[in-house]
Amino acid sequence: MQNLVVIIDDEEDLVDLLEYNLKKAGYETLGFLNTSKIEQLLNEENVDLLIVDRNLCGVEGSEFVKSIREKGYNTPVIFLSAKTTKAQRLEGFEAGGDDYITKPFDLDDLLARVNAVLKRAKKEAKVYKFKDITINLTTSKVFCGEEMVDLTKLETNLLLEFIKNKNIVLSRDYLLSAIWNDENTNSKTVNIAIKRLREKIDPNKNKEYIKSIRGEGYMLC
């Protein structure tokens, strides 16, 4: 599966250039000229990396990254900016950046850093988030908003599998293989486990995180 790299820069020609070269290097890409749709995108897609300019219309790039970090989004960020002083670079790291590349830049250097940040992130992934649900694997805690949810290990693994595959229909057979790994377990076990999970993460039944897809399975959306 290709890594999805999202580029946010107000220079359209630069966005096109980066998309072209990242695709050549084997990445899936999406380009944006501002941050207005990025938070929604992070909720809907498995974004592996953000490349963010700091001189953006609407909100300064480091302020945007700081705001999503405070909301619990841990998607890796590389700043690509014409702000080049030591103090400005430190601002980027303090806001939550994982790397900082100054303009003008060497394309091969950028591609190498993209690869390095993605490799590091893969090793360090400990927190998974979907909308207001957060799973912290280090502490084994699950939160819905500010409230901690008491899930069993199996329920946590089930929820994690859905978050890793959000907006994808997962069949009962797939879930049996991925979560239970037991040929003797039947599909009713999946139904019961999902019913209990729904009751815990959505006790008021007004968010419908996990939808039943008739004849196919379940989807987190």
Rounded CA separation 52/21 (Å): 16
pLDDT digits (tens, 9 = 90+) for 86-117: 999 999 999 999 999 999 999 999 999 999 99
Burial of residue 51 (number of CB atoms within 10 Å: 0-12, 13-18, 19+): buried
pLDDT at 125 over 70: no
Whose tokens are 């997962």? That residue is 170
Q: How confident is the model at residue 17 (pLDDT cuts 50, 70, 90)?
A: very high
Rounded CA separation 221/205 (Å): 14
pLDDT at 205: 86
Q: How far is CA 47 from the centre of its chain?
A: 5
pLDDT at 218: 94
Which pTM does this prediction carry?
A: 0.65
pLDDT at 131: 87
pLDDT at 51 over 90: yes
pLDDT digits (tens, 9 = 90+) for 131-175: 889 898 877 789 998 889 999 989 999 999 999 888 899 999 899
Where does residue 100 fall: left (phi above 0), alpha (psi -120 to 50 degrees), or beta otherwise? beta
Q: Calculate what percentage of the chain has a pLDDT beyond 70.
A: 97
Query: Angle 60-6-134 (CA atoms, 0-180°, nearest 5)?
Result: 85
pLDDT at 1: 67
What domains does the chain contain, in order, with CATH numbers?
4-125 (3.40.50.2300), 128-220 (1.10.10.10)
Supply the Cα-derived Rg of the chain in whole angstroms. 19
